Structure 1
Amino acid sequence: MSSSGPSYGERAEFSESDVCYRHPDRQSFTLCQRCGRTICGDCQIQSPVGVLCRDCVKQTSAGPKGAARVGRSARVAGRRFAALDAPVTMSIIAVSVVVFVLQLLSHYFGRDGVTSALWYSPTFSMADGLHEVAPGQLAGYPEGAFIEGEFQPWRMLTVMFTHSVGFLPHILFNMLALYMFGRNLEQMIGSMRFLALYVFAGLGGSLGVMFWGYADTMSLLGATVGASGAIFGVLAATVVAFRSMNVNVTSLIVLLAINIGIGFMPGMSISWQAHFGGMIVGAITMWIIVQTRGPRRKTQQIIWLVALAALLIALSFAYLVISPV
């Protein structure tokens, strides 16, 4: 039986077509795995799929393919972020750190412009214009005075991402507490519920500062920064969540009590009002989530959380109804 090719042990002979497509004077049996053209030793490039010619390598590494790889990398990065055990917690930490860096730069090069644009003072909950303070109502002004109001309610939320640039442990302690307790709570109740709880607690902290203005007129002039209200809300919510599962929360309650007590120490310049406001709202939010847990009560849970959000927003307009001065 005849064969068209050489038998085993015979030497193969080059034909006219067995020459490199780039170097016709060089004979070769090697073919490019992509285009099938014959290539000599100088034109061969090893790849994971075999030997390729130089033209095919250029085509696969340029143009739309390269852009597609960038797109795939972005999608992979997005999936990895979504796969984090607590994406909301990590995002809040990241935003807080970025804002703090901007605050530092503004502190040294911009007269604290970033901090003053984001902090909260009860005067930002008052109607625009001058408000007359009765004689003796404001310490140091026995004949009365005027307080300038500027209604900017969004500051009740932006203040959650600011921290004191003169006291580095402020942001370190807040972010450490958020990382330790926020991650666990987010995994327990889900990212969207945790985001709602954090925002509600932060707003509750600002409301605590605002409502104290009714009791102490001097506090109207004080500006606050920090995520402490929201952090205390997370801690209080953790207590409520663990208590609903019959977990011993004594150590966490002691931790809360110690931190509350620190706020009353002389010279600490800590807004205990924000701590109490955040704690109260955080505990209420978590109580709603616990009482309406389960797939059959999801609609009821949404209704109660929306109602709580509406109540908090309505309370933020309290100064427009009843002025503190």
Structure 2
Amino acid sequence: MTTAPDASGNYCYRHPDRQSFTLCQRCGRTVCPSCQTQAAVGVHCPECIAEARANGPKRKPILVRASRASTGKPVVTYTLIALTVAIFLLQLIPGSGVTQALVYYPPLTASEPWRMITSAFLHSPSSIFHVGFNMFTLFIFGRVLEIPLGRARFISLYLISALGGSVAVLLIAPGSVVLGASGAIFGVVAAFFVIQRRMGINNRGLLIIVVINLVAGFIPGLNISWQAHVGGLVTGALLALVFLRQRNKTSVIPEVALVALVVAGLIALTLVRIFVL
């Protein structure tokens, strides 16, 4: 004879009439969907969020208004992963010409500027680890960011960070042939870091991981473009600051204008490097 498990703990501690099976990752109490705040892993309850903010930098909470955030599944994140993996599989087909059609080669920037972004969907056919690591990182951080930011902001963050990585390569290593999503990925991670800091969350562990990955780019023989990493990192952090600055505004026009200004700055740097320097 068995005894039925005690279900008394399966109710939200703030709303005793609401059943839930989700626990706060910090205190372990049961919280219902309306009391949950998405964290890097799992969710946090309102009291733990308030405590983190009280003990951290005195800044306004993030993110954007609920009415402007995405609901449901992180469709953009999954689409980016599926598209990148599909293109990688096409690259493996001998004679497909996919790599040659999309790869970023700085001398072609003036005549085929779209390569500065399309190269982010390519990876070295000889390194499944490269595409696997990048897509795993996107899977982890993309799902966390896309919902609160909204799909339009997230896709803008990803693509503009990819552009920022290519611009950095053009400025610092103009003779390099670069492919990979690392610039875009670093932009997403940088945005996640900046947003967490504004929430008052201690994310020094993430900072250590970012620094280690940046340092790896300087190790001879690894063939890692640290220039793309730095470019994506700076661009992603800048866009996160734009999103944070405009989060309580009733009009999206100033936010769109600031994002357009970031893009215009990247284009200006590209033109200066091509036609002046």
- Common fold: TM-score over 0.5: yes
Partner of 1:240: 194
Question: Could you say what the CA RMSD is over the residues aligned between the two structures, in angstroms?
Answer: 1.6
Q: Of residues 209, 216, 232 in structure 2, which corresponds to 1:262?
A: 216
Whether 1:253 and 2:207 are equivalent positions in the alignment is yes
Aligned length: 208
Instruction: Specify the SS of the correspondent of 1:268.
Output: coil
1:114-164 C-alpha deviation (Å, 9 max, x unpaired): 1111111221225xxxxxxxxxxxxxxxxxxxxxxxx31110011010001
What amino acid is aligned across from residue 108 of structure 2 in structure 1?
Answer: F
For residue 316 of structure 1, give the secondary structure of its aligned residue in structure 2: helix
**Residue in 1 that maps onto 2:77:** 89
Of 125, 129, 144, the residue aligned with 1:184 is: 144
Q: Give the corresponding residue for 2:231.
A: 277
- Of residues 121, 127, 137, the one that matches 1:161 is 121
Q: Is the 8 A contact 2:178 2:225 kept in 1?
A: yes
Query: What is the CA-CA distance between 1:295 and the residue it aligns to?
Result: 4.2
Cα displacement (A) at 1:297: 4.7
- Determine helix, strand or coil for the equivalent of 1:317: helix
Amino acid at match of 1:260: L
Instruction: Give the gaps of 5 or more residues in structure 2.
Output: 1-69
Larger radius of gyration: 1
Quote the residue 1:135 is aligned against.
Answer: none
Using the alignment, how far apart are the partners of 2:214 and 2:251 within structure 1? 35
Partner of 2:49: none
* Structure 1, gaps ≥5 residues long: 1-81, 127-150, 214-218
Distance 2:240 2:252 in 1: 14
Map of 1:76 onto structure 2: none
1:263 Cα offset (Å)? 1.1
TM-score norm. by structure 2 comes to 0.72
SS of alignment partner, residue 242 of structure 2 = helix
Q: Distance in 2 between matches of 1:275 and 1:258?
A: 12
Percentage of identical aligned residues: 40
Structure 1 counterpart of 2:7: none
Distance, in Å, in 2 between the alignment partners of 1:83 and 1:192 is 12
Match of 2:99 among 92, 115, 120: 115
What residue is the counterpart of 1:10 in the other structure?
none
User: Which is bigger in relative contact order (C-alpha 8 A, separation at least 6)?
Assistant: 2
In 1, the alpha carbon distance for the partners of 2:112 and 2:253 equals: 33
Letter paired with 1:86? P
Question: Equivalents in 2 of 1:86, 1:313: separation in Å?
Answer: 29
What pairs with 1:32-51 in structure 2 (closer than 5 Å)?
none
Query: Does the 8 Å contact 1:163/1:171 carry over to 2?
Result: yes
